[in-house]
């Protein structure tokens, strides 16, 4: 199994390290030719969604990745990655891949000084350490979207088809269970 990690900006190395600890091979997507490699799943990491969206288009990776996601490529998206997947943003006119039928609020918990740690429950996992850094949250979801976690009444993790998305950074913890949930959702028996 190989997991591709978008590596144009943001916290991609932390995801690679997490998968490495789990014995899973990763490749970095840095340019258009990288998306022609063989991989089984995709990680859209945290970082700055506006910059990532701009670079995806400038590097001519946007259309290819969007088509892969639409065709069912399993995706793990964290923080900025959630924003890239969101169908709509409530406080920004831009949208990016728009493959996840949710409405997201960017920087919903505040700017950098509003970053925080929270131990909450994730459906199917249990108690989990959640790191929020300039985090978004999900304001609304379509009926077919499964809500996996909430913090103070705000949705912070969801699953829709092959897309697993979180407003927090599971890659910054030592807990592999969120990444394992991603792998388990599509791993071949």
| Active-site residue (options: 15, 16, 96, 169) | 169
Give yes or no for a contact between 48 and 12, defined as CB atoms under 8 angstroms apart: no
Residues 68, 129: Cα–Cα separation, whole Å:
31
| Active-site residue (options: 14, 16, 87, 171) | 171
CA 163, 165, 169 angle in degrees (round to 5)? 145
Residues 97, 179: Cα–Cα separation, whole Å:
22
Q: How far is CA 103 from CA 18, 54, 132, 158, 167, in A?
A: 28, 20, 18, 12, 12
DSSP label of 173: S
Annotated active-site residue 169? The verdict is: yes
Give yes or no for a contact between 71 and 100, defined as CB atoms under 8 angstroms apart: no
Residue matched to tokens 């599971």? 170
Annotated active-site residue 127? The verdict is: no
Annotated active-site residue 15? The verdict is: no
Residues in the chain: 189
| Active-site residue (options: 16, 79, 87, 96) | 79
Give yes or no for a contact between 169 and 43, defined as CB atoms under 8 angstroms apart: no
DSSP label of 60: T
Q: Which residues are catalytic?
A: 79, 169, 171
């Amino acid at each position: 199994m190989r997991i591709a990690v978008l590596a144009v900006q943001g916290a991609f190395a932390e995801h690679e390290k997490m998968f490495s600890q789990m014995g899973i091979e990763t490749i970095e997507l840095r340019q258009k030719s990288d998306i022609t490699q063989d991989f089984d799943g995709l990680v859209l990491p945290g970082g700055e969604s506006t910059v990532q969206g701009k670079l995806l288009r400038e590097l001519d990776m946007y259309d290819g990745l969007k088509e892969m996601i639409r065709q069912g490529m399993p995706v793990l998206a964290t923080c900025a990655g959630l924003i890239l997947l969101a169908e709509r943003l409530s406080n920004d006119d831009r949208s990016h891949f728009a493959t996840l039928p949710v409405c997201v609020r960017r920087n919903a918990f505040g700017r950098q000084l509003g970053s925080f740690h929270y131990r909450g429950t994730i459906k199917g996992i249990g108690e989990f350490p959640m790191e929020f850094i300039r985090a978004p949250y999900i304001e609304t979801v379509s009926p077919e979207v499964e809500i996996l976690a909430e913090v103070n009444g705000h949705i912070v993790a969801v699953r829709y088809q092959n897309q697993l998305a979180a407003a927090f950074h599971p890659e910054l913890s030592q807990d592999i269970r969120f990444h394992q949930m991603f792998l388990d959702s599509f791993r071949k028996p």
